[in-house]
Amino acid sequence: MLIAGRGVAGLSLSSEVVAGGDVLVGFLDDVVQASDVLGTLADVAAVCEREDVGVVYFAIPSAPGEVVREFVTQVHRSGVELAIVPRTYRIVSRDRVSVSDLTDVDILDLVGRAPVKHDMVHAGDTIRGRRVMVTGAAGSIGSRIVAQLSMLEPELIVCVDRSESGMFRLGNSLRDTSNTRLEIGDVQSEERMSQLMAGYRPDFLFHVAAYKHVPLMQHNPIEAFNNNVWGTWNVFSRAAEHGVGNVVYVSTDKAVNPTNVMGATKRLGELLLRDLAAVSPSTRFSGVRFGNVLESEGSVMQTFRQQLQQGVNLTVTDPEITRYFMTIDEAAQLVIQTATAGRPGDLFVLDMGEPIRVFDLARGLIDAVDPSLDVDIIGLRPGEKMYEELSHASSSVDSTTHPKIFIVSDSYAREPGETSRWAAELLDRTRRYDLAPDELIEALRSFGFDALQ
């Protein structure tokens, strides 16, 4: 076996594997010079052939993503097995890295992007001693926002979700905190939202609750519209009514030029935010758009993990499909950071680098975990786009005090309040289930979502 990296991780790993009976031929390192260093990382193919190496361990947890990817490619071409020590660095004393060892940061390495670190000091000054409410708190993103908020010493965090089992799990994760309250509630209920906001009087509200799975919402457009449009409007309206100081809306890159119902409903949420911001001087509304959040429920990475654990080929809908990726911690911190940034009605995006081919992510995971697997191309799903965008072509993107956070200024063709009036007329029918799914799709197209499938 051969170890790339003769630093602390590589030396510790060498002790583990030698103790397990493996034969170590030496190290590769671009910096360290020693008698057992057989070459640089670029020499891996030649050294493997000369020394008849069967397994290569990559043990440089601090290596940039492009270095990791180039090394993986070289080893893959040589036909030698490869195991990667995760960036979080735990000794791997077995033949291969387990998929459970790979963290979000390691996965960003595979796609060539360093995680964005947010300075939470200012956010802590803002949140400390204040009352905060989070809708959709039991979901993957909502629960991480709650966890991040709990470290900022708020007076109280009110966690709202309609999932009983999800709230039970959230409660278990918050056992050591005394300043959280778990409240079962549906964002579509006017009475329940009013009751919670009147009772707790939050200073900040993070609206995360939404239906987000594209194929499911494409099949259930009325439910998507009621939950994502009415639920959002209801939360916004009740917040303004009860004097909530700051409201942050979590949107998605699928809201830009939407081709599916879910994306259209989230875009409508952005437009409703603009309408409410114009007439609610006592409540500051803002929004934030995400790319794909690694490890969120139903994400492509979650699917890949399950497939790797089952030992089956990874599935990708199209070899050229691309997506932006961010970690769940990046998402949670971005939401909190934008609570007081910019002006009322602003929409924020995170600089997530270049979009990544999902096929390349799948291939990198296979190379790191189980090279015997392959990638199966299964075809695009209804409403799925080949690529996502973080802003419209006509939008301006302006900098903020944070180098990785930007304000998107969309050019709106509609008058303030027009979206609210249009949505109210449609919701009057969808909430009574007096509208067929095809009629809703046609109404959305007529509103301006021309690409909707």
Cite the active site residues.
Answer: 254
Nearest to 108 by CA among 63, 77, 149: 63
Helix axes 164-173, 140-150, angle to 10 degrees: 30
How many angstroms separate the Cα of 372 from the Cα of each of 52, 312, 315, 366?
20, 10, 15, 8
Q: Check: CB of residue 188 under 8 Å from CB of residue 164.
A: no
Contact yes or no for 185/193 (Cβ under 8 A): yes
Question: How far apart, in Å, are the Cα atoms of 44 and each of 30, 74, 238, 248, 355?
Answer: 11, 7, 62, 49, 29
Per the listing, tokens 């493996």 go with: 22
* CA pseudo-torsion sign 217, 218, 221, 226: positive
Question: Which two three-digit tokens encode residue 90?
Answer: 């735990």
